[in-house]
Amino acid sequence: YQHGLFFFDLQLPPSYPAVPPQVYYRSFGLRLNPNLYPSGTVCLSLLNTFGGEGTEVWSPGTSSILQVVVSLQALVLNGQPYYNEAGHETLVDTPEGRRNALPYSENAFLLTLRTALHLLRQPPRGFEGFVADHFRQRGRHVLMACDAYLRGCIHADEGAMELPCSTGFRIALANLVPRLVAAFTNMGTQG
């Protein structure tokens, strides 16, 4: 999800804080994470949209909006989205988990780029300037990451560390990069 921009609408129902806020993810019909549905549903125990117990679920006396936002950032938009799939948490650090996590993460990166293109074409009303500023400042970093993956998956932000990636990922990425370059060039991205 590096350098991506994601929009969530939070609405406080009349019975808040007895019930959790309602959260809608602006997905553009893409499912870039197991917890974020194409319909915009955010699947999270804290929101009572997924099973959970104890501190995982909304508690009127102790849960907060900050807890929801931190959960979205740390638990949902994390570096290993494969393990967010129900039942996959048992596969952490197993050969099967590692084998399946890579294509899942590759797909999440591609969908993050597609989300960026959607946001540039259709920014949420009132956030047009924010979206433009974000990609003017971060567009160069997005393209540097793409270039690093295309050159053999040497991650630009972490020095010269080789990371595995699939041929299919590189092909899909190579098809997206010209659209990103055009979109960033049209908006005056720095660098």
| Distance from C-alpha of 128 to C-alpha of 121, rounded to nearest angstrom | 10
Classify 114 as helix, strand or coil: helix
Beta bridge partners of 25: 8
Query: What is d(CA 18, CA 13) in angstroms, rounded to the nearest whole number?
Result: 9
From 43, 146, 153, 165, active-site residue: 43
Instruction: Please give the Cα distance from 72 to 92 (Å, whole number).
Output: 20
Task: Compute the distance between CA of residue 113 and CA of residue 107 in angstroms, rounded to an integer.
Answer: 10
Active site residue 43: yes
Angstrom distance (rounded) from CA 132 to CA 101: 32
How many angstroms separate the CA atoms of 104 and 125, rounded? 31
Active-site amino acid positions: 43
